[in-house]
Amino acid sequence: MKIIQSISALQQEIGLQKKEGRSVGFVPTMGALHNGHLQLVKRCVSENDVAVVSIFVNPTQFNDKNDLVKYPRTLEADCKLLEGAGCNIVFTPTEEEMYPEPDTRQFAFGSLETVMEGACRPGHFNGVAQIVSKLFDAVAPHKAYFGEKDFQQLAIIREMAKQLKYDIEIIACPIVREADGLAMSSRNTRLTPTQRKNAVEISQALFKSRNFAAGKSVQEVIDETVSYLNTVPELQVEYFDIADARTLQSISQWSDTEEAVGCIAVFCGEVRLIDNIIYGKVRP
Ligand code: PAF
């Protein structure tokens, strides 16, 4: 496995591989890797001749600077895990390499970015689009892999790839959960043991909401889920929205969409966790 820091060295290496007719898959990450990332990497390894993973904690997507400072950084352990997963190239650029000068591009994603994460984290998706487009330019992969835990991010990246006409297949991979249901996240390592125990209620509440969705209105599902989670110690729901899975616009009745998704953000102490659940077509 090669560890490369500069864009020019990366492009040279990938250029050689492509010249040999090899396909290139790419998994962008911010490091602090867990099994969720490794599932993306393993899929990337199995579907491509060359698997590239980037590790870069992107400052422009953090609207909360405290979150950026506290974001876990575990480069050495990450590289070991990537080697074990069959990764061929790890790209670990510095901030100067990715942003030799400030990126002033302003993307416009319309109603996709004005809801949920976009509404709560101003500038977040612009920062994601900035870095993912720079990484796409640097790696120029055939396929790129993203987790469905960041459901809205995936929709934004698809839209960005369309707007900038990238010839890259965007592949969505299912959420990977701990044995008790908690969605895997690099932020989970910041939870205290008690918070970790309480955090499991987030996924459990989503699973329950799917079980009783058919007997309730959309608003009832939202209200009951939010009021239950807010009774759990240290949990505070920031939003829980039930939306059309394609447009991400809120629905008021199950019949408003063929496929509904419930997206949630919850503070567990000061750690902000997100999760989501697909309801599919609910027939009341
Ligand atoms: O999902 C993430 O880890 C990040 O948002 C990404 C896609 C690597 C961009 O920094």
Do 138 and 9 lie in one domain? The reply is yes
Which pTM does this prediction carry?
A: 0.97
Locate the ligand 1 atom nearest the alpha carbon of residue 128 and give its number: 9
Please report the pLDDT score of residue 221 as a whole number. 98
Q: Ligand 1, closest atom to CA 54?
A: 8
CB of 132 closer than 6 angstroms to any ligand 1 atom:
yes
Is 62 in the same domain as 199?
Answer: no
The residue whose CB lies within 8 Å of the most ligand 1 atoms, and thus the one to mutate among 55, 153, 156, 176, is 153
Closest-CA residue, ligand 1 atom 8, reads: 29
Query: Are 67 and 205 contained in the same domain?
Result: no
Q: Are residues 55 and 136 located together in one domain of the fold?
A: yes
Residue where one domain finishes, among candidates 173, 198, 218: 173
Q: 69 C-alpha to center of ligand 1: Å? A: 16
**CATH code, 161:** 3.40.50.620
Look up the domain containing 198 and give its range. 186-276
Is the same domain home to 9 and 58? yes
| 7 and 79 assigned to the same domain | yes
Output the domain CATH number for residue 259.
3.30.1300.10
From 173, 196, 225, the end of a domain falls on 173
Q: What is the pLDDT of residues 57-77, one digit of tens each?
A: 999 999 999 999 999 999 999
Alpha-carbon span 245 to 258, nearest angstrom = 8
Residues 143 and 17 in one domain: yes
Nearest-CA residue for ligand 1 atom 1 is 29
pLDDT of residue 38: 98
Q: What is the mean pLDDT of each run of 10 residues along the chain (284 residues)?
A: 98 98 98 97 98 98 92 96 98 98 98 98 97 98 98 98 98 98 96 98 98 96 98 98 98 96 98 96 86
What's the 58 CA to ligand 1 centre distance in angstroms?
A: 8
Closest C-alpha among 240, 153, 172, 175 to residue 202 = 240
pLDDT of residue 283: 85
180 occurs within a structural domain: no
Q: Is residue 190 part of a domain?
A: yes
Q: Is residue 209 part of a domain?
A: yes
Same-domain pairing of 210 and 270? yes
Q: Looking at the domain assignment, is residue 284 inside a domain?
A: no
On whether both 33 and 166 belong to a single domain, the answer is: yes
Domain assignment present for residue 178? The answer is no
Pocket test residue of 53, 68, 136, 150 for ligand 1, highest count of atoms within 8 A of CB: 150
Catalytic annotation on 37?
Answer: yes
**Is 220 part of any domain?**
yes
Secondary structure (DSSP) of 234-278: TEEEEEEEEEETTT--B-SSGGG-SSEEEEEEEEETTEEEEEEEE
User: Both 20 and 154 in a single domain?
Assistant: yes
Please tell me the distance between residue 284's alpha carbon and the centre of ligand 1 in angstroms: 37
Q: Residues 113, 193: one domain?
A: no
163 and 28, same structural domain? yes
Q: How many structural domains comprise the chain?
A: 2
Q: For residue 42, give every residue at least 6 positions away whose Cβ sits within 8 Å of its Cβ, in sequence order, or none.
A: 85, 86
Residue nearest to atom 9 of ligand 1 (CA): 128
Task: Give residue 41 CA to ligand 1 midpoint distance, Å.
Answer: 14
Establish whether residue 87 lines the binding site of ligand 1, counting it when its CB lies within 6 angstroms of any ligand atom. Answer: no
CB of residue 130 inside a 6 A radius of ligand 1: no
Which of 173, 206, 233 is the last residue in one of the domains? 173
Q: Which atom of ligand 1 is nearest to 61's Cα?
A: 10
Q: What is the pLDDT at residue 279?
A: 97
- Measured CA to CA, the distance from residue 117 to residue 129 in angstroms comes to 14
What is the C-alpha radius of gyration for the chain, rounded to an integer number of angstroms? 19
Query: Contact 40/72 with Cβ under 8 angstroms?
Result: no
- What distance in angstroms lies between residue 269's CA and the mean position of ligand 1's atoms? 23
**What pLDDT was estimated at residue 284?**
81
